[in-house]
Amino acid sequence: MNFDPMIPIWLQVATRIKQQIVTGELPPGSKLPGGRDLALQYGINPNTAARIYQELEREGLCQTQRGLGTFVTGSEEAVQKLREEMARRAVARFLTDLKGMGLSREDAIQLIQKEDEPDDHQ
């Protein structure tokens, strides 16, 4: 993973893990690597790795069970909420970008519909 050194590393990895939870790559209840392994996996500082789990726990997206390790939350509801939250943010970002280019909300909807038609694509 390539990091943007101007953004906190923990935030970047946490976002990546959230994406994996939302896409189902990390299904609910699945085991996450230990802090040290996470650090090695991403090539990041162990303190940063610890911070990632702290934040994910705070947001209710994972739980640490003493002696067993850290697990993705089993609550479908929490995952659904995360999905909605992330989608909402993606849309907001998208709209802001378009606005910057001088395009309206309606232009955006049109663009989405156009992009959605598979034949138009390639």
Partner 1 sequence: MITSNNLTKKFRTKTAVDGVSLTLSPGHVYAMLGPNGSGKTTWMKMAAALMKPTSGEVLYEGKPVGVESRRHVAYMSTEPYFYSWMSVKDVGDYYGDFFEDFSATKYKSLLKEMELEGAMKTRTLSSGMMAKLKIAVTMARDAQVYMLDEPFNGIDLLARDEIRHCILREASESKVLLLSSHLVEEMEAVCDTAVFIKQGKLIEVRNLEEMREADHVSMADRYREIYGHTEVSYNE
5 near partner 1, judged by CB under 8 A: yes
Residue 114 CB, nearest distance to partner 1 (Å)?
Answer: 36
How far, in Å, CA of 3 to CA of 8, rounded? 9
Per CB under 8 A, contacts with partner 1 among 10-49 are 10, 36, 39-40, 42-48
Cα angle value 113/115/117 (rounded, 5°): 75
In what order do the strands lie in the sheet containing 62-65?
31-32, 69-72, 62-65
DSSP state, 28?
T
For partner 1, which is the closer residue by CB, 12 or 63?
12
For partner 1, which is the closer residue by CB, 44 or 72?
44
92 near partner 1, judged by CB under 8 A: no
Per CB under 8 A, contacts with partner 1 among 46-85 are 46-48, 51
Give the HSE-up count for residue 51: Cα atoms under 13 Å, Cβ half-sphere.
12
- Residues in touch with partner 1 (CB under 8 A): 3, 5-10, 36, 39-40, 42-48, 51
